[in-house]
Amino acid sequence: MNDMSKVEPPPLRFEAPPSTSLLAHARHIVSENPVTGLAFGLFALILFAAIFGPSIVPYDPLASNTNSALQGPSAAHWFGTDQLGRDIFSRVVAATRLDFTIAVASVALVFLLGGLAGVAAGFFGGWVDTIVGRVADTIMAFPLFVLAMGIVAALGNSVTNIVIATAIINFPLYARVARAEANVRREAGFVQAARLSGNSEWRLLLTQIVPNIMPIMAVQMSLTMGYAILNAAGLSFIGLGVRPPTPEWGIMVAEGASFIVSGEWWIAFFPGLALMTAVFCFNLLGDGVRDLVDPQRRN
């Protein structure tokens, strides 16, 4: 207990505004822009389905029942059943976790790698910049989805590899945004001022540059979440990554595709709708997040 004497003084509260004000600000933004409110609501729903989905669905998403195959939407089967009699509603809800996990994992991965590489390139310049730029350029030289196809095909057909491929094709986007933002701030007045205050270059990077780039990166993340989900679903639509009978939106649309021409629309429609809603939600969130983190708008 003699450590008590050495207790650090409470950290200086210079910047962190009380969390209540952030909440209040969030409420303000939602009330100002109901669409953002809708997006946050949808996001909560997706999060809920991702966490609890598999345990609350009415049917086992994998259980087939040939007696009730290819039934349209009804009270018993809200979204109808597929060719094996599986309940599509249960499958759509259960799929949320996988799709969401793929998107979050790939975005987190690319945020770390791309963000760090970009910030370093923009701030230090020189050979770091050259290498990061060259890597980003090479990735950008491919049509991104095609590159993702190639990567998954080469690495092997698995969900992990979908995550990796999605992260790789997003790398240039993150690296470039982070690089540009770090680069314009490198010579900004406040960074120069911090140099005069005796901050080392690394300290500058961490205290002056990174916190000011975070809002932009946050917006970037929520925007690319939608793209990541689309990309993963596209890959599984053509048979990469996720394998049947695992419920996943892209593969479910693929399974339902052949029934469209004969009129059984619901098999492909509902998973497609779920996919679209999720992407739409993330795209709207991008704008909402920008409003939330932008200090200029907080009063």
Partner 1 sequence: MLGLIVARLKTTLPSIIGVIVVTFLLTRVLPGDTAAYFAGPAATPQAIAEIRSKLGLDQPLPVQFVAYVGALVKGDLGTSLTTGQAVTKDLAARLPASAELTLFGLLISMAIALPLGVLAAVRQGSWIDHLCRIVATAGVSLPVFFTGLLLVYVFYFILGWAPAPLGRLDAFATEPPRISGFLLIDSVIARDPETFRAALSQILLPALTLAIFSLAPITRMTRASMLAVLGADFVRTARASGLSSRTVIGTYAFRNAMLPVVTTLGMVFSFLLGANVLVEKVFAWPGVGSYAVEALIASDYAPIQGFVLTMAILYVILNLAIDILYGVIDPRVRLEG
Partner 2 sequence: MTAKPLLDIKNLTVEFATRRGTVQAVKSIDIGVGKGETVAIVGESGSGKSVTSYAVVRILDRAGRVAEGSIGFSGIDLVGASEAQMRDLRGREISMIFQNPRAALNPIRKVGKQIEDVLLQHVQATRATARAKAIEALEKVRIARPEERYDAYPFELSGGMCQRIVIALALACQPQLLIADEPTTGLDVTTQKAVMDLIVELTRERGMSTILITHDLGLAAAYSDKVVVMEKGRVVETAAAAEIFCNPQHPYTRRLMQATPRVGMALRDLLPEAAAKPPAVPRILAAAGNAAAPLLRVENLVKEYPRPATGSLLAKLIGKAEPENPAFRAVDGISFEVRRGETLGLVGESGCGKSTTSMMVNRLLDPTSGRIVFDGQDIGAIPAKQFALTPLRRRIQMVFQDPTDSLNPRFTAERAILDPILRMGSLKGRDALRARCEELATLVGLPIELIDRFPHQLSGGQKARVGIARAIALEPDLVILDEPTAALDVSVQAVVLNLLEELKQRLRMSYIFVSHDLNVVRLLCDRVIVMRTGEIVEQGTAEEVLGAPQAEYTRELLTAIPHPPL
Residue 41 contacts partner 1 per CB under 8 A:
no
Residue 151 or residue 191: which is nearer to partner 1 going by CB? Answer: 151
Nearer to partner 2 (CB atom), residue 16 or residue 257:
16
DSSP state of 81: B
- Which partner, partner 2, partner 1, none, binds residue 72 by CB below 5 to 8 Å per kind? none
Residue at 70: amino acid letter: L
4 is a contact residue toward partner 2 (CB under 8 A): no
Q: Of the ranges 12-20, 145-153, 235-243, 265-273, which one interacts with partner 2 (CB under 8 A)? A: 12-20
DSSP lists the bridge partners of residue 87 as 81
Kind and range of the H or E element at 47?
Answer: helix 34-56
Q: Does 253 bind partner 1 (CB under 8 A)?
A: yes
- Work out what residue 189 binds among partner 1, partner 2, none; the CB cut-off runs from 5 to 8 Å by kind: partner 2
Q: Which does 75 bind (CB under 5 to 8 A by kind): partner 2, partner 1, none?
A: none
Task: For residue 284, state whether it binds partner 1 (rule: CB under 8 A).
Answer: yes
Taking each helix axis from N to C end, the angle separating 210-237 and 266-293, rounded to the nearest 10 degrees, works out to: 170
Distance between CA atoms of 65 and 182, rounded to whole angstroms?
A: 57
Assess 73 for contact with partner 1 (CB under 8 A): no
Number of shown-chain residues binding partner 1 (CB under 8 A): 46
The residue from 144, 251, 289, 292 that contacts partner 1 (CB under 8 A) is 144
> What separation in angstroms does the CA of 56 have from each of 91, 134, 252?
11, 48, 20
Among 195, 218, 265, 273, contact with partner 2 (rule: CB under 8 A): 195
| Spatial distance between the Cα atoms of 111 and 79, rounded to a whole number of angstroms | 36
Alpha-carbon distance values, 97 to 47, 58, 90, 155, 187 (Å) = 8, 16, 12, 23, 44
Measured in whole angstroms, how far is the alpha carbon of residue 87 from the centre of its chain? 28
Task: Determine if 103 is a binding residue for partner 1 (CB under 8 A).
Answer: no
Smallest gap from residue 148 Cβ to partner 1 (A): 8
3 state SS of 61: coil
Nearest-approach distance from CB 214 to partner 1, in angstroms: 24
User: Buried (b) or exposed (e) across 215-230, using 16+ Cβ within 10 A?
Assistant: bbbbbbbbbbbbbbbb
Q: Which stretch binds partner 2 (CB under 8 A): 63-71, 172-180, 193-201, 259-267?
A: 193-201
**Interface with partner 2 (CB under 8 A), residue from 193, 206, 257, 260:** 193
Selection from partner 1, partner 2, none that 56 binds (CB < 5 to 8 A by kind) is: none
Buried/exposed 252-277: b ≥16 CB within 10 Å, e otherwise: bbbbbeebeeeebebbbbbbbebbee
Of positions 1, 7, 75, 154, contacts partner 1 by CB under 8 A:
154
Q: Is the peptide bond before 11 cis (omega within 30 degrees of 0)?
A: no
